Amino acid sequence: MSWKEALFFPPEMPISNHSRNLIQSLCCGAETRLSSIEDIRKQPFFHAVDWEHIRERPAAIPVNIRSIDDTSNFDEFPNADLSWHVDPG
């Protein structure tokens, strides 16, 4: 799937200009794409984030983790087709 053909912002699902700009800065050609954590941190979308103390903040959605390999917080999709389709071209 190509972002050039698939990236679309439907008018019935409005998002902020900062959100739109961040998404477009991540889904673009490699020569202009955000390429470092510093570039990402400087995005206006993240202006209110206290990067120095972010690890001290509580999780937005607390989860209970029973072990390092606990996957109980993930949805299951037993009927999902997980095969890869490679374009031979």
Q: Taking a C-beta distance cutoff of 8 angstroms, is the pair 21, 40 a contact? A: no
- Which sequence spans correspond to the domains of the chain? 15-47
The mean predicted confidence, pLDDT, of the chain is: 88
Using one digit for the tens of pLDDT, what is the confidence trace for 21-64? 999 988 888 888 888 999 999 999 999 999 999 999 998 888 88
Q: Taking a C-beta distance cutoff of 8 angstroms, is the pair 15, 9 a contact? A: yes
Q: Specify the pLDDT at position 34.
A: 85
Q: What is the dihedral of CA 63, 68, 70, 73, to 10 degrees?
A: 30
DSSP code at position 32: T
Q: Specify the pLDDT at position 1.
A: 57
Structure tokens at 69: 């390999």
